[in-house]
């Protein structure tokens, strides 16, 4: 028994000895390997030398050149950009909730021990605004958007400008602003000369050009974003004096008023707005940013600095654009002329002989092809200047000299229109149903059927006054025309929509 136990212990001793040796071997091996790795690793951690730009592969050189250009633009333009903080206080009045339920019941007022609770309460709310701008003169004139300094519908009382280059803050004064273009000029009083942005030529901007936006989105000062020009002359409803530059360079809240620049560091636009789905009430960039062309700004900057406001020429006409089919029926050249649909009573246009129904074809010898053409030419005149307007009237051309006056605000120009109500019998012709006009001559359209030849041209409430050069004074005139022109395929129709005269020429199948 003892012999057997001795053998077992001997075998365990030998086995343990072998295992111990094996483990030491492993540890030694790993230790050696680790030391080796450590030595190799220490040499591999030495940093590689930077790229030798003189030996760049050809395919990298163009990218590197563009990168250098962007670096230079940032260095050139960023110091001219400013951060603009403004705030205003709005006072609201609301009816006390107590009165909503109990009104003037004296019993309830005394029951709740509130005998002197006012019927109305007032509270004040601070409305902040954060935006951008850029320096246009070394003595401190700054260009920005009007909405940046008008957060609550009126000019903010407290406007603070921070110059990004120095970090210095200044209290800014509003020199002037223009509601029509959403442009404002501010002034600060620096003790030293400031860096000035170079204003470029936005008329030279082309789709596909590189574009750089610099500003303070969400308060992140000096943010630089890069993209391209997506479109030019973008027409946004409601703004008649500015056709926007569209870019996909990321623009966000806070960029408003900052510069949009080209790769030469020249300002080509003022970043103004974005088009966004506006989810959850917060607008965000989706690749559609809009900037006011800098040439538009140039037209107003001087007046704002000198006068504090912008004066534009005005003659007092409402204009409707006409298509080439209508021009053909009238005998006008393709693409030329706009229709005077209304002449404002007492306006320069009425005084000097412009008539409703005239087709304006030239202003001071310049061909007029669109409403924008006419607006630009007239608005560029100073009040008191004379302008030669060539019109097409009753088959012949007439030139009228008109002295322009100062343009009222858009809200003053806005006019109310009221249509008449049909009365008496009706007549149907080619899918339109008309009735007598109780307010004067012509006939009122009371229905336009879907299959009508006039569908898409006339609408309910329009007043037809002439078809194919035949005056329509009443329902009898219209009935006679309908009888004599059952198979007519070409039409030139004059009608009123509200107080606006419209002329449309078209052909049917």
CATH 2.40.10.120 applies to domain 76-84+129-309: yes
Q: Is 52 a catalytic residue?
A: no
Exposure letters 48-67 (e unless 16+ CB within 10 A, then b): eeeeeeeeeeeeeeeeeeee
Segment holding 503, helix H or strand E: strand 500-507
Q: Which of 78, 86, 132, 147 is catalytic?
A: 147
Burial of 263 (0-12, 13-18, 19+ CB in 10 A): middle
Taking the domain 423-507, which CATH number applies?
2.30.42.10
Are the folds of 313-413 and 423-507 the same?
yes
What CA dihedral angle connects 376, 377, 383 and 386, to 10 degrees?
-170
Superfamily classification of domain 313-413: PDZ domain (2.30.42.10)
Collapsed DSSP state (helix, strand, coil) of residue 86: strand
> Where do the structural domains in the chain lie, given as residue ranges?
76-84+129-309, 313-413, 423-507
What's the rounded mean pLDDT across residues 418-440? 70
Query: Is the model's pLDDT at 37 over the cut of 50?
Result: no
- Pair type for strands 266-274 and 198-199: parallel
CA–CA distance, 318 with 268 (Å, rounded to integer): 32
DSSP state of 54: G
Which segment of 194-203, 307-316, 397-406, 448-457 scores lowest on mean pLDDT? 448-457
Q: Which of 199, 164, 153 has its CA nearest to residue 292?
A: 199
Q: Which residue has the tokens 């707005």?
A: 273
Report the pLDDT value the prediction gives residue 91, as an integer from 0 to 100.
Answer: 64
Give residue 441's pLDDT.
78
Residue 93 pLDDT more than 70?
no
119 contact partners, CB below 8 Å, separation of at least 6: 95, 96, 99
Nearest-5° Cα angle at 29, 27 to 31: 65
pLDDT at 269: 96
**Mean pLDDT in residue range 194-220:** 93
Helix (H), strand (E) at residue 61:
helix 58-77
Catalytic residue among 78, 230, 256, 436: 256
Residue 309 CA to chain centroid, in angstroms? 21
Q: Is 183 left (phi over 0), alpha (psi -120 to 50) or beta?
A: beta
d(CA 297, CA 270): 8
Q: What residues contact 46, with CB distance under 8 A and at least 6 apart?
A: none
Between 120 and 63, residue with greater pLDDT: 63
Residue written as token pair 């900037």: 291
First CA to last CA across the chain, in angstroms?
A: 124
As a whole number, mean pLDDT of residues 349-374 equals 92
pLDDT in tens, 440-483: 678 889 888 878 888 888 888 889 999 998 999 888 889 889 88
Instruction: State mean pLDDT over 292-310.
Output: 93
The arithmetic mean of pLDDT across residues 222-228, rounded, is 91
As a whole number of angstroms, the distance between CA 126 and CA 321 comes to 45
Q: What is the pLDDT of residue 335?
A: 92
Question: What is the pLDDT at residue 57?
Answer: 77
Considering the candidates 88, 178, 182, 477, report the single residue annotated as catalytic. 182
Render pLDDT for 142-185 as a digit per residue (tens, 0 to 9): 999 998 998 766 788 889 999 987 889 999 999 999 988 999 99
- Whole-model pTM over 0.85: no
With a pLDDT cut of 70, the percent of the chain lying above it is 75
Please say if 182 is a catalytic residue: yes
Q: Does residue 396 have an active-site annotation?
A: no
| 376 pLDDT higher than 80 | yes
**What pLDDT sits at residue 398?**
94
Query: Does position 189 have pLDDT exceeding 50, yes or no?
Result: yes
| Per-residue pLDDT at 35 exceeds 50 | no
């Amino acid at each position: 028994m003892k012999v057997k136990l001795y053998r077992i212990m001997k075998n365990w001793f030998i086995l343990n000895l072998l295992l111990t040796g094996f483990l030491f071997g492993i540890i030694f091996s790993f230790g050696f390997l680790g030391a080796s790795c450590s030595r190799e690793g220490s040499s591999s951690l030495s940093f590689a030398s930077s790229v030798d730009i003189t030996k760049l592969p050809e395919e990298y050189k163009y990218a590197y050149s563009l990168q250098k250009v962007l670096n230079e633009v940032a260095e050139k333009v960023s110091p001219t950009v400013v951060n603009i903080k403004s705030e205003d206080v709005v006072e609201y009045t609301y009816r006390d909730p107590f009165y909503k339920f109990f009104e003037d019941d004296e019993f309830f007022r005394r029951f709740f021990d509130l005998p002197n609770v006012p019927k109305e309460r007032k509270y004040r709310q601070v409305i902040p605004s954060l935006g951008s701008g850029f320096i246009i003169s070394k003595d401190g004139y700054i260009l920005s958007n009007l909405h940046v300094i008008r957060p609550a519908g009126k000019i903010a009382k407290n406007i603070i400008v921070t110059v990004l280059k120095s970090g210095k803050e200044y209290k800014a004064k509003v020199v002037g602003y223009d509601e029509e273009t959403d442009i404002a000029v501010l002034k600060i009083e620096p003790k030293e000369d400031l860096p000035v942005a170079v204003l470029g030529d936005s008329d030279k901007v082309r789709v596909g050009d590189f574009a750089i936006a610099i500003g303070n989105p969400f308060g992140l000062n000096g943010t630089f974003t890069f993209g391209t020009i997506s479109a030019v002359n973008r027409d946004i409803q409601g703004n008649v004096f500015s056709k926007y530059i569209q870019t996909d360079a990321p623009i966000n809240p806070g960029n408003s008023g900052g510069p949009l620049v080209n790769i030469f560091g020249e300002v080509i636009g003022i970043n103004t707005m974005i088009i966004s789905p506006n989810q959850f009430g917060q607008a965000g960039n989706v690749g559609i940013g809009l900037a006011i062309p800098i040439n538009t700004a140039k037209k107003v900057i001087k007046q704002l600095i000198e006068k504090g406001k912008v004066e534009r020429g005005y003659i007092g006409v409402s204009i409707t654009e006409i298509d080439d089919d209508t021009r053909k029926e009238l005998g006008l050249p393709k693409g030329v002329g706009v229709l005077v649909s209304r002449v404002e009573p007492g306006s320069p246009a009425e005084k000097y002989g412009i008539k409703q129904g005239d087709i304006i074809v030239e202003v001071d010898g310049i061909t007029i092809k669109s409403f924008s053409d006419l607006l630009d030419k007239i608005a560029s005149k100073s009040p008191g200047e004379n302008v030669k307007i060539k019109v097409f009237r009753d088959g012949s051309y007439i030139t009228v000299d008109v002295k322009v006056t100062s343009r009222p605000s858009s809200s003053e120009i806005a006019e109310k229109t009221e249509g008449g109500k049909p009365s008496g019998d009706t007549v149907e012709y080619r899918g339109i149903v008309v009735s007598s006009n109780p307010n004067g001559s012509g006939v009122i359209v009371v229905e336009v059927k879907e299959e009508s030849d006039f569908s898409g041209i006339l609408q309910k409430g329009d007043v037809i006054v002439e078809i194919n050069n035949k005056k329509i004074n009443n329902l009898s005139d219209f009935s006679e025309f309908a009888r004599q022109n059952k198979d007519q395929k070409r039409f030139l129709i004059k009608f009123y929509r509200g107080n606006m005269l419209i002329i449309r020429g078209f052909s049917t199948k």
